[in-house]
Amino acid sequence: MTDNTIAQPEAAGMNFEYGENQKMVADMCRDFAEREITPFRREWDETQEFPVPLFKKMGELGLMGVLVPQEYGGAGFTYFEYVAAIVEISKADGAIGLSMAAHNSLCTNHILTFGNEEQKKKWLPKLATAEWIGAWGLTEPNTGSDAGNMKTVAKEDGDHYVLNGAKNFITHGKSGNVAVVIARTGETGDSHGMTAFVIEKGTPGFKAGRKEDKLGMRASETTELIFEDCRVPKENILGKVGEGFIQAMKILDGGRISIAALSLGIAKGALEASIAYSKERQQFNKPISSFQGIAFKLADMATKIEAAELLTYQAAALKHAGKPMTKESAMAKYMASEVAVEVSTEAIQIFGGYGYTKDYPVEKHYRDSKLCTIGEGTSEIQKLVISRALLK
Amino acid sequence: MKILVCITHVPDTTSKISFSDNNTKLNSAGVQFIIGPYDDYALARAVELKEASGGTVTVLNVGEADTEPTIRKALAIGADDAIRINAFPTDSYFVAQQIAAVAKEGNYDLILMGRESIDFNGGMVHGMVAEMLGLPSVSPVMKLDIDGGKATLSREIEGGKETLELNLPFVAGCQEPIAEWKIPNMRGIMSARTKKLEVREPAQAETKTKLDNYELPAPKGEVKMIDKDNVDELVRLLKNEAKVI
């Protein structure tokens, strides 16, 4: 097991250890995952079940509103505890970590960051306690990385906007009770031509479409969202008309820290399983960990994980300090997600034939990890973001 | 109702145990410490009792400063405040004297702890504390309900189960299924930082034991599988190799 040495730059300099709160949050999540997630993860994975009751329990613990201030029913913690929580939950099950991340840092955080007081009071207490589960819709079938060219339109009609179009690859599209949706209110190609709306389940003309059958992250529900003459009152607009895309990019900056944490969790889960297995598995009358071919793999895996962890906490520290962190969060997400794929691939190699079976968890880590290099901005988009920051 | 819950700070059950200083100290490097699992049940029940009918839960630990994260966890789970007696818990008698000193001052209605710690597994502290305070002691308690000044509890006895009624105050050593372990929530973790953790110097107390050294049990031998039809061979091995019959 890698120990919890991570970067949390503090006023007095650099402190590479978890703070007391982070440790307690990590312990709490580990205990919770052992009891409530690990025993069921294989079943959820096989049946693609999105375990709603689990998220209600996570809501009771405060895991669904980690960043939401206590006055709105949240836990009121910082990105440091948030990252620690996502890492621990994702070690047990990346799909649950993904849903937790999407709920916290996309939907809930969008309302928290850009909602007015009335909107925050209306939706945050329900979201922070997981009474409601949140979804967030930016991507469309033909505009993934090119989100600015979205086709979903919102036309003004009196004191409403009428939405038409579809979003896809939306986490909690079906089970979510509320969604933040970005739709076009201006000209195609105009980054100021999009607006963020909050849409509650049950609004006429708003429904979930097909549920995706995925390679990994199967317990995390992914569906289409469909809008057919869906009338949304103007009071559900977050911020100003025309700001939706700009807001979404800012939300994604923070979201990348979540996905980096999710990637770290998956990688650490794969490493821990590999260390345990390599000490038990005997070949030629020795544990395979005594062979350098295996031991060096473990060394590489652990080193990459710690490097990714340092980048992640650097981004979290900047976010916490309210400083710009677009480049740093992109670096963290890019690095951590690629590391998750590399580490879980090596984990299967260490497990050999057994790693290729569903009797051991590393094949799931492997399948789950691949989403991390794609969701909330592909690795290529991260490199674009990083290079633009370097070249501007 | 004022409840005192005594907790131990012990290595996690999966820890690899080794010793330092000529086998006189536990080597704590890389060891994860937890609230003693039996104490954790006692704490969970105390918090439930408090939530049901009001009162306060104070946690008490006899230990050096390194036990504070464990105490904070107990506060996060729902205890109201904590006392740490700043001393290494040398033996059961020493610990019991410290607990008794705190209990005498605090006037508690109920003193709960695990039926035993999981490091030394002495299982003696609750009995000693009760004796020092002149109170009844019951262990291992698996069910505990309080109604006014009266408690109904059940405990395991040799070959069966006993149900008792008892007036408060008393001392109980607890075990499952008295309550389900509680996982602290985020709010509990946040509030644990601001709850009072008082550090007291130890009362004058004797230590009745002297530690020479620790040693690990011999490694377990290999398992031998014997066919179910070959009872003679099983008896022969139990007699000649295992030497248990």
Per-residue pLDDT reduced to its tens digit, A118-147: 999 999 999 999 999 999 999 999 887 888
pTM for the full predicted model: 0.87
User: For strand B56-62 and strand A282-283, is the pairing parallel, antiparallel, or unpaired?
Assistant: unpaired
Contact A32 B183 (CB under 8 A): yes
Chain A environment of B70 (Cβ under 8 Å): none
Closest-approach residue (CA) in chain B for A61: B185
Closest-approach residue (CA) in chain A for B30: A3
The count of domains in chain B is 1
Query: CA-to-CA distance for A355 and A367, rounded, in angstroms?
Result: 12
Cβ neighbours of B176 (radius 10 Å): 15
Note the pLDDT of residue A5.
40
ipTM topping 0.90: no
Contact status of A70 with chain B (Cβ, < 8 Å): yes
Contact status of B192 with chain A (Cβ, < 8 Å): yes
Which of the residues B70, B189, B194, B195 would you substitute to probe the A interface, choosing the one with the greatest number of A C-beta atoms within 10 Å?
B189
CATH of the domain at B99: 3.40.50.620
Question: Does residue B229 lie within any of the structural domains?
Answer: no
Contact B72 A24 (CB under 8 A): yes
Closest-approach residue (CA) in chain A for B185: A61
**Domain residues for B72?**
2-212
Beta bridge partners of B228: none
Of B185, B190, B193, the CB nearest to A61: B185
- Name the one residue in this structure whose structure tokens are 């794929």: A341
Which of the residues A1, A3, A24 would you substitute to probe the B interface, choosing the one with the greatest number of B C-beta atoms within 10 Å?
A24
Q: Which residues contact A39 (CB under 8 A, 6 or more apart)?
A: none
Amino acid at A78: T
Question: Does residue B233 lie within any of the structural domains?
Answer: no
Of A24, A76, A81, the CB nearest to B73: A24
Query: CA-to-CA distance for A92 and A100, rounded, in angstroms?
Result: 13
Check: CB of residue A173 under 8 Å from CB of residue A209: yes
Chain A environment of B187 (Cβ under 8 Å): 62, 70, 75
Question: Does residue B239 lie within any of the structural domains?
Answer: no
Contact A61 B189 (CB under 8 A): no
Question: Does residue B62 lie within any of the structural domains?
Answer: yes
Contact status of A60 with chain B (Cβ, < 8 Å): yes
Note the pLDDT of residue A144.
79
Check: CB of residue B3 under 8 Å from CB of residue B49: yes
Query: CA-to-CA distance for B155 and A172, rounded, in angstroms?
Result: 47
Contact A20 B72 (CB under 8 A): yes
Question: Does residue B61 lie within any of the structural domains?
Answer: yes
Q: What secondary structure does DSSP assign to A213-274, as a single string?
A: --SS-TTS-EEEEEEEEEEEEGGGEESSTTBHHHHHHHHHHHHHHHHHHHHHHHHHHHHHHH
Question: Does residue B186 lie within any of the structural domains?
Answer: yes
Contact A24 B187 (CB under 8 A): no
Amino acid at A198: V
Question: Does residue B221 lie within any of the structural domains?
Answer: no
How many residues in total does chain A contain?
A: 392
Average pLDDT over residues A150-170: 96
Query: CA-to-CA distance for A252 and A260, rounded, in angstroms?
Result: 12
Beta bridge partners of A13: A10
> B122 or A9: whose pLDDT is higher?
B122
Query: CA-to-CA distance for A53 and A57, rounded, in angstroms?
Result: 6
Mean of all residue pLDDT scores within chain A: 94
Contact status of B216 with chain A (Cβ, < 8 Å): no
Confidence of residue B60 (pLDDT cuts 50, 70, 90): very high
Cβ neighbours of B88 (radius 10 Å): 12
Query: CA-to-CA distance for B47 and B179, rounded, in angstroms?
Result: 10
Task: Give the distance from residue A75's alpha carbon to the nearest chain B alpha carbon, in angstroms.
Answer: 6
What percent of chain A lies above the pLDDT cut of 90?
Answer: 90
Predicted confidence (pLDDT) per residue in B87-115, tens digit: 999 999 999 999 999 999 999 999 999 99
Note the pLDDT of residue A8.
46
Note the pLDDT of residue A13.
53
Task: Give the distance from residue B97's alpha carbon to the nearest chain A alpha carbon, in angstroms.
Answer: 31
Q: Of A51-55, A147-151, A369-373, B46-50, where does mean pLDDT reach its minimum?
A: A147-151
User: In this structure, is the dihedral angle defined by the CA atoms of residues B133, B138, B142 and B146, taken in order, positive or negative?
Assistant: negative
What percent of chain A lies above the pLDDT cut of 70?
Answer: 96
Query: CA-to-CA distance for A225 and A166, rounded, in angstroms?
Result: 6
Note the pLDDT of residue B223.
84
Question: Does residue B96 lie within any of the structural domains?
Answer: yes
Note the pLDDT of residue B207.
85
Contact B186 A61 (CB under 8 A): yes
Contact B186 A32 (CB under 8 A): no
Rounded to the nearest 5°, which phi and psi values hold at B79? -65, 155
Note the pLDDT of residue A392.
86
Check: CB of residue B211 under 8 Å from CB of residue B24: yes
Query: CA-to-CA distance for A243 and A81, rounded, in angstroms?
Result: 30
User: In this structure, is the dihedral angle defined by the CA atoms of residues A361, A367, A370 and A376, taken in order, positive or negative?
Assistant: negative
The domains located in chain A, with CATH, are 20-133 (1.10.540.10), 135-245 (2.40.110.10), 246-391 (1.20.140.10)
Note the pLDDT of residue A9.
47
- Helix then strand then coil, in percent of chain A rounded to 5, is 55, 20, 25
Chain B environment of A75 (Cβ under 8 Å): 185-187, 190
Of A27, A32, A76, the CB nearest to B190: A76
Q: What secondary structure does DSSP assign to chain B, as a single string?
A: -EEEEE--EEE-TTPPP-EETTTTEE--TTPPEEE-HHHHHHHHHHHHHHHHH--EEEEEEE--GGGHHHHHHHHHHT-SEEEEE-S----HHHHHHHHHHHHHHHT-SEEEEESS-SSS----HHHHHHHHHT--EEEEEEEEEEETTEEEEEEEETTEEEEEEEESSEEEEE-TTSSPPPPPPHHHHHHHTTS-EEEEPPPS-----------PPPPP-------TT-HHHHHHHHHHTS---
User: For strand B160-167 and strand B150-157, is the pairing parallel, antiparallel, or unpaired?
Assistant: antiparallel
Mean of all residue pLDDT scores within chain B: 94
Check: CB of residue A88 under 8 Å from CB of residue A265: yes
Chain A environment of B186 (Cβ under 8 Å): 25, 28, 61-63, 66, 75, 77, 81
Contact status of B149 with chain A (Cβ, < 8 Å): no
Contact status of A19 with chain B (Cβ, < 8 Å): no
Asked whether the predicted pLDDT for residue A163 surpasses 60, the reply is yes
Told to judge if A376 belongs to the known catalytic residues of this protein, a careful annotator would answer yes
- B151 alpha carbon, distance to own chain's centre: 21
Of B73, B11, B13, the residue nearest B40 (C-alpha)? B73
Predicted confidence (pLDDT) per residue in A264-273, tens digit: 999 999 999 9
What is the number of H-type helices and E-type strands within chain A? 12, 12
Asked whether the predicted pLDDT for residue B136 surpasses 50, the reply is yes
Beta bridge partners of A380: none
- Name the one residue in this structure whose structure tokens are 């909602």: A115
